[in-house]
Structure 1
Amino acid sequence: MMKKVRSFISFIVIFLGFFYFYTSQNPHNQTGAAGHMAHGYVEIPKKNEIPSVDVTLSPDGPDTWLLKLDLVHFSFAPEKVGEKQPSYNEGHAHLYINGKKISRLYGEYYHLGKLKEGRNEITITLNSNNHGALMAGGKPVQATEVVEVNK
């Protein structure tokens, strides 16, 4: 009986080790700046129009929020996501709440739902079709808004 228990425990330890290794190496599981670094950055050449993004947050019901993006020189191209060549004025956005990546965005509206009580920092980054975070002059093309939630 003890031999079976030791074998089972050994299996679990090895399984958890492989599981941890796989999840820590997968770039899609990484958040914040590390997630951008996993996909890299795409510097927009000076000859191109530089895109920009602004974020507006508004109440959408008694305790939920709606996010709206205002884009300049950028369009969503979900059908091209994953292309190897970088794109500078089309792609998708990434939504971060308090530094944690929540979702990719392929449109100008997103229902945030409920936010935690207190300070919430909402950041949107614009990303190339190859998933790299767009940069202009060494700075990320992004917007951040803070919303205070009082319940």
Structure 2
Amino acid sequence: MAESSLKTALFIGSAAALVIGLVNYCVAETGVSEQVPRAVFLEVGQHEPLPGLQLRTEQAAGGEWLLHIDAIHFTFSDVCLVQASGTHTGHAHVYQGGEKVGTAFTPVFSLGRLEPGQHEFSVMLRAQDHRALIGPYGLIAARVKVTVPGPPKNMI
């Protein structure tokens, strides 16, 4: 299997694991299993503008790393609903190595301090009811790699 196909398969597998977490989260939050969203994905309508995102990172003065989520046709919100009616408002789930590390309710997300080395983060746009947004090309998601330099080596 080619490396890109393997990465895609792993990403889709991670998404499937998130479905189970989504159902458990909705039941825990609402206490009513009938209020679990009817579907796992919320498809962007054929005639609606397609949301998109680009990711960039920067290291802040105190050593903290920030993830900037530059989204188009999408507004961040911290309001969660049992059933979202639109695909242009919501939040983003942030993953590192296939594990969810947080939820971004604004376009800037703190990654905290990162150890020296290579790190890969992925972000998936979600509707206000936590369904993953999907367009004609699949999940509306992006990835970014961060290389954190190690301490300078002493010159002898």
Q: TM-score, normalised by structure 1?
A: 0.71
AA at the equivalent of 2:100: K
Larger radius of gyration: 1
Indicate the SS of the match to 2:19. Answer: helix
Note the aligned Cα RMSD (angstroms): 1.9
Question: Which residue in the other structure is 1:37 paired with?
Answer: 19
Question: Which residue in the other structure is 2:29 paired with?
Answer: none
Aligned pairs for 1:1-150 (under 5 A) are 32-38=14-20, 39=22, 40-61=40-61, 63-79=63-79, 81-150=80-149
Q: Which runs of 5+ in 2 are unaligned?
A: 1-12, 23-39, 151-156
Determine the C-alpha separation between the residues in 2 that align with 1:116 and 1:99.
18
* Cα deviations by residue, 1:93-121 (Å, 9 ceiling, x for unpaired): 11111211011111011221112332211
Cα distance change on mapping 1:129 and 1:63 into 2, 3 Å:
same
Q: Which structure features the higher share of helix residues?
A: 1
Deviation of residue 35 (structure 1)? 4.2
Q: TM-score, normalised by structure 2?
A: 0.69
Cα contact 1:32–1:101 (8 A) shared by 2: no
Determine the C-alpha separation between the residues in 1 that align with 2:47 and 2:74.
15
Q: How many pairs were matched up? A: 120
Structure 1 runs of 4+ aligned residues shifted over 2 Å read 34-39, 61-64
Cα contact 2:77–2:106 (8 A) shared by 1: no
